[in-house]
């Protein structure tokens, strides 16, 4: 098979005569910016000035010659991996394709249309807004789409996102701007082939254990003739040949195979990420006609939902091992997805692994991610909960829409099914709980807006998509991966028990009363489900990021720019109210930014520990969200530029494979040891009470067994006995678990809220560790330093940050720069440049 990638593109607004340089893959917004036709979309309130773009039609074109060896191929096709979204394609001014789904690939036979030189390819993108206004009018009523910012687009209450098979977040979300893009967002190729070609190779893993992997290689072969052939299948420890008969058209060939004593693929923390390269080769008379190689990892992965005394379990079992899922929700890394480089993807996923995560949820309001995203998840041992691209909306049920969805689902399942990281297909985000068909008192008030006939029509469309089309597609094309209809959901029961609530003892839960409901952080402890697939708490990005979109005059909470870069309507108010609840007043706006980081981190730490303490009743905690698509105040733990907020560091500490957690129960402190490793450990739990000058007041220790893959309450101490008449405002508990003289984890506990602690100015000493080339530092302090923040002149992350420093207990820190793209390591030891160090007291108002 031979191919060329088409480049040298130009674009223009359809009524214009001026052709401009275009980048493909890309989109109209990015191309306008590159040509200096618009201002930075992310700066200030520029978003609002760019809403005209999605009301226009746009054209892209290129010209190309065809090498003789390619032109002479009997089969010639144009392959469009991604067109966003409504596109008419003309080759040498002949119409060859009408595309209407961003998430599909399109292939067109062009053998009879092309010529050797001077081919012209033109793609006309129709405005998604104008296209879908017609569909809304035809339907006769609007469908719920809570996060569609139609008002920002000058459309009033006309929610159009539901009609387009296009990334929902393009229309706005409560963390993202409204940029409804058009363009060629994936590669365009001219491909030629002769005789036969392998179009798909799927290694279906039927049974995988430590002793044997039994598989079926499902090989899709397209042939332009009938005849006999041989298929060879090979990988490490395996070589099979089979006679096959090919007919003209699509042939499905299945080859059963097995590998004894396979090297298994494991998620991060449980073992190695081992891979096998499988190659399928079609030969005729010993001549190779076509071949294809895929990489996969051998593993078994199942969603275990078993009845128990408390409800129904919800956890992932990998190679027979129950896995406590630790991680976060992932959104697209940019409003303009083609601006996301390999390095940015790697930084996100490497950061997740560095933070002791083992799962990311690809949320249903974005995109089915690029192949390299899943490649990186495979390599870093990051399990993927994969939503189909439906979120927070009801959808139309006309046959054209349903057929479009079915093909979209099949194509993406087939594209992703060889990835060992893929753990689950989920139908949608939050639609079952929002509509709440079987309980009139539940839901988001959607269904009450419609007549009885409309309600039946809308729910019928829902059931057709999420209870029939999608599960059938998963069963047919990705049979070894489980399907879950909606997140959150309790059970597919067809009764009121189907819908997830905060009290559900089955299914998964999105818990949002802390944040949206202004409930205290401590409520995270009161609502723990079987799997916590969403919960979150906001913060601002750090000052250097805020300065990329705001001027000095904008540096206040209620400025127009600061409100614009806060898409959750109550967000800034909620941050302020929670801050007033827990902390002393920050002295200025930069201090407010820092305090918002600490606030967010403390909230999510409370949640994570509550979930992990309750293992194995709870077997998953995925906070909302790891990343941002633009610089903004949001729930992200890393900002748009990949800078770690306090939450990312707290997640790293809270997700340790062996962790200690401290939970107050009225008059006592309970000490838990949590382990995600697969063998018992023997160690010592040490509990110490210090005053803020570092004097050791109380010390207790206990030999403990850290039980494999479990959470255990190992000690309870009465608060009164531990305090020993000390002032609770001036002491801190330091608990550590030690084994073989290695501190596996340590945690601090304060008896009173931060707003009631009187902090004094610490003298923090930062000393370079000799022989480390300025990459490692030891930190000490003379008095308690709360939430020590290290800031480096160079871009990168520290091995730890925003930590508490107790006098007499030093802290060793390493600076890690982002590794270069071609290097093996995503993080490498480096010099941070100038380092500044501050702590909470530096940000508190002294009034």
According to the model, what pLDDT value does residue 549 have?
98
Q: In this model, does residue 509 exceed pLDDT 80?
A: yes
According to the model, what pLDDT value does residue 478 have?
86
Q: Residues near 644 by Cβ (< 8 Å), separated by ≥ 6? A: 351, 637, 638, 797, 801
According to the model, what pLDDT value does residue 121 have?
98
Tell me the CB-side half-sphere exposure of residue 695, using CA atoms within 13 A: 6
The mean pLDDT of 102-126, rounded to a whole number, is 98
The mean pLDDT of 3-14, rounded to a whole number, is 97
Is pTM, for the whole model, over 0.85?
yes
Whether the upstream peptide bond of residue 597 has omega within 30° of 0, thus cis, is no
d(CA 488, CA 431): 8
* E strand spans, 693-843: 696-706, 710-718, 731-739, 742-750, 764-768, 776-781, 785-792, 797-798, 803-805, 811-818, 827-829, 835-838
Q: In this model, does residue 825 exceed pLDDT 90?
A: no
Architecture of the domain defined by 759-847: Sandwich (2.60)
According to the model, what pLDDT value does residue 822 have?
65
Say which DSSP state 468 is in: I
Is-same-fold flag (2-190; 759-847)? no
Q: Which fold has domain 656-758?
A: Immunoglobulin-like (2.60.40)
Helix axes 399-416, 470-477, angle to 10 degrees: 30
3-state secondary structure of 70: helix
Say which DSSP state 557 is in: T
177, 567 Cβ separation under 8 angstroms:
yes
Q: Return the number of other C-beta atoms located less than 10 Å from residue 821's C-beta.
A: 10
Q: Per residue in 681-735, pLDDT tens?
A: 999 999 999 999 999 999 999 999 999 999 999 999 999 999 989 999 999 999 9
Using a pLDDT cut of 70, give the percent of the chain over it: 99
Average per-residue pLDDT in the chain? 96
Q: In this model, does residue 827 exceed pLDDT 70?
A: yes
DSSP per-residue string spanning 169-222:
GGB--SSS-B----EE-S-EEEEEE-SEEEEEEEEEEEEE-SSEEEEEEEEEEE
Give the start-to-end residue ranges of the domains of the chain.
2-190, 195-296, 656-758, 759-847
Q: Which H or E run includes 457?
A: helix 452-464
Helix axes 571-582, 589-613, angle to 10 degrees: 80
Q: Per residue in 253-286, pLDDT tens?
A: 999 999 999 999 999 999 999 999 999 999 999 9
In our burial notation (b when 16+ CB lie closer than 10 A, e otherwise), range 4-37 reads: eebeebbbbbeeeeeebebbbbbbbbbbbbeeee
According to the model, what pLDDT value does residue 711 have?
98
Instruction: Give 808-811's long-range contacts (Cβ < 8 A, gap of 24+).
Output: 808/690, 808/694, 808/696, 809/694, 809/734, 810/778, 810/779, 810/780, 811/778, 811/779, 811/780
In the CATH scheme, what is the code of domain 2-190?
Answer: 2.60.120.260
Q: Per residue in 590-621, pLDDT tens?
A: 999 999 999 999 999 999 999 999 999 999 99
Residue linked to tokens 């002949």: 94
d(CA 800, CA 785): 15
d(CA 688, CA 699): 4
| Radius of gyration, alpha carbons of the chain | 28
Handedness of CA 441, 445, 451, 452 (dihedral sign): negative
According to the model, what pLDDT value does residue 847 have?
65
Alpha helices in 699-840 (DSSP H): 719-723
Per the structure block, which two tokens stand in for 28? Answer: 């109209």
Q: In this model, does residue 72 exceed pLDDT 90?
A: yes
According to the model, what pLDDT value does residue 821 have?
64
d(CA 811, CA 310): 43
Query: What is the CATH class of 195-296?
Result: mainly beta
Name beta bridge partners: 4: 190
d(CA 189, CA 5): 4
Q: In this model, does residue 555 exceed pLDDT 80?
A: yes
The mean pLDDT of 633-650, rounded to a whole number, is 98
Find, among 148, 183, 151, the residue nearest to 163 by Cα: 148
The mean pLDDT of 10-23, rounded to a whole number, is 97
Find, among 470, 57, 505, the residue nearest to 314 by Cα: 505
Q: In this model, does residue 241 exceed pLDDT 90?
A: yes
Tell me the CB-side half-sphere exposure of residue 476, using CA atoms within 13 A: 12
According to the model, what pLDDT value does residue 486 have?
98
d(CA 803, CA 549): 29
């Amino acid at each position: 098979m031979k191919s060329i990638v088409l480049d040298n593109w130009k674009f223009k607004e359809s009524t214009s005569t001026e052709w401009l340089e275009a980048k493909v893959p890309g989109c109209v917004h990015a191309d306008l910016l590159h040509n200096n036709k618009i201002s930075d979309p992310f700066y200030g309130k520029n978003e609002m000035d760019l809403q005209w773009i999605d009301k226009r039609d746009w054209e892209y074109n290129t010209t190309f010659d065809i090498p003789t060896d390619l032109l002479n191929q009997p089969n010639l096709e144009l392959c469009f991996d991604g067109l966003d979204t409504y596109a008419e394609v003309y080759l040498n001014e002949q119409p060859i394709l009408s595309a209407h789904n961003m998430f599909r690939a399109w292939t067109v036979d062009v053998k009879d249309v092309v010529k050797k030189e001077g081919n012209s390819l033109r793609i006309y993108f129709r405005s998604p807004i104008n296209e879908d206004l017609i569909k809304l009018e035809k339907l006769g009523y609007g469908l719920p789409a809570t996060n569609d910012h139609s008002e920002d687009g000058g459309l009033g209450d006309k929610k159009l996102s539901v009609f387009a098979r296009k990334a929902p977040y393009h229309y706005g979300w409560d963390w993202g701007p409204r940029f409804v893009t058009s363009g060629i967002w994936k590669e365009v190729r001219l491909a030629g082939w002769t005789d036969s070609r392998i179009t798909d190779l799927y290694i279906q893993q039927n049974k995988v254990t430590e002793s044997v992997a039994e598989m079926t290689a499902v090989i899709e072969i397209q042939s332009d003739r009938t005849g006999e052939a041989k298929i060879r299948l090979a990988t490490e420890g395996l070589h099979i040949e089979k006679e096959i008969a090919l007919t003209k058209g699509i042939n499905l060939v299945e080859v059963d195979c097995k590998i004894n004593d396979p090297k298994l693929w494991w998620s991060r923390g449980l073992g190695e990420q081992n891979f096998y390269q499988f190659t399928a080769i079609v030969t005729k008379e010993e001549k190779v006609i076509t071949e294809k190689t895929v990489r996969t990892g051998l593993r078994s992965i199942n969603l275990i939902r078993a009845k128990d005394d408390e409800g129904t379990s919800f956890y992932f079992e990998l190679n027979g091992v129950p896995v406590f899922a630790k991680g976060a929700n992932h959104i697209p890394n940019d409003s303009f997805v083609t601006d996301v480089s390999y390095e940015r993807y790697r930084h996100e996923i490497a950061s997740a692994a560095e933070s002791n995560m083992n799962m990311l949820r690809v949320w249903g309001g974005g995109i089915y991610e690029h192949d390299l995203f899943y490649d990186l998840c495979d390599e870093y041992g990051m399990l993927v909960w994969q939503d189909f691209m439906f979120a927070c909306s009801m959808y139309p049920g006309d046959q054209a829409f349903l057929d479009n969805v079915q093909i979209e689902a099949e194509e993406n399942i087939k594209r992703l099914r060889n990835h060992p990281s893929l753990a689950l297909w989920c139908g949608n985000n939050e639609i079952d709980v929002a509509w709440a068909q079987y309980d009139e008192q539940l839901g988001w008030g959607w269904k009450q807006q419609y007549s009885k006939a409309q309600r039946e029509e809308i729910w019928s469309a829902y059931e057709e998509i999420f209870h029939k089309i999608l599960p059938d597609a998963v069963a047919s094309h990705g049979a070894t991966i489980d399907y879950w209809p909606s997140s959150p959901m309790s059970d597919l029961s067809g009764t009121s028990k189907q819908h997830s609530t905060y009290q559900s003892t089955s299914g998964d839960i999105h818990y949002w009363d802390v944040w949206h409901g202004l409930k205290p952080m401590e409520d995270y402890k009161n609502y723990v489900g079987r799997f916590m697939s969403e919960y979150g708490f906001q913060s601002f990005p750090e000052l250097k990021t805020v300065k990329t979109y705001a001027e000095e005059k904008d540096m206040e909470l209620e400025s127009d720019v600061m409100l614009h870069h806060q898409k959750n309507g109550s967000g800034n108010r909620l941050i302020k109210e929670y801050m007033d609840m827990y902390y002393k007043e920050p002295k200025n706006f930069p201090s407010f930014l820092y305090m918002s980081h600490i606030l967010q981190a403390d909230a999510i730490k409370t949640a994570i520990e509550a979930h992990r303490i309750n293992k194995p009743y709870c077997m998953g905690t995925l906070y909302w969200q790891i990343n941002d698509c633009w610089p903004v105040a949001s729930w992200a733990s890393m900002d748009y530029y990949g800078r770690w907020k306090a939450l990312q560091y707290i997640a790293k500490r809270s997700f340790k494979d062996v962790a200690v957690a401290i939970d107050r129960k009225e008059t006592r402190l309970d000490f838990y040891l949590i382990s995600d490793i697969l063998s018992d450990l023997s160690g010592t739990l040490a509990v110490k009470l210090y005053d803020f000058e570092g004097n050791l007041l109380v010390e207790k220790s206990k030999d403990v067994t850290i039980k494999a893959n479990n959470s255990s309450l190992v000690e309870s101490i009465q608060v009164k006995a531990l305090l020993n008449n000390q002032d609770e405002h001036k002491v801190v508990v330091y608990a550590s678990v030690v084994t073989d003289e290695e501190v596996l984890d340590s945690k601090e506990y304060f008896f009173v809220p931060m707003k009631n602690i009187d902090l004094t100015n610490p003298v923090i000493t930062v000393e370079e560790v000799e022989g480390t080339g300025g990459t490692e530092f030891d930190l000490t302090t003379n008095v308690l330093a709360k939430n020590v923040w290290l800031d480096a002149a160079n871009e990168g992350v520290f091995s730890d940050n925003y930590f508490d420093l107790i006098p007499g207990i030093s802290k060793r820190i390493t600076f890690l720069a982002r590794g270069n793209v071609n290097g093996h390591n995503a993080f490498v030891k480096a010099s941070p440049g100038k380092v500044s160090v501050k702590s909470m007291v530096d940000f508190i108002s002294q009034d």
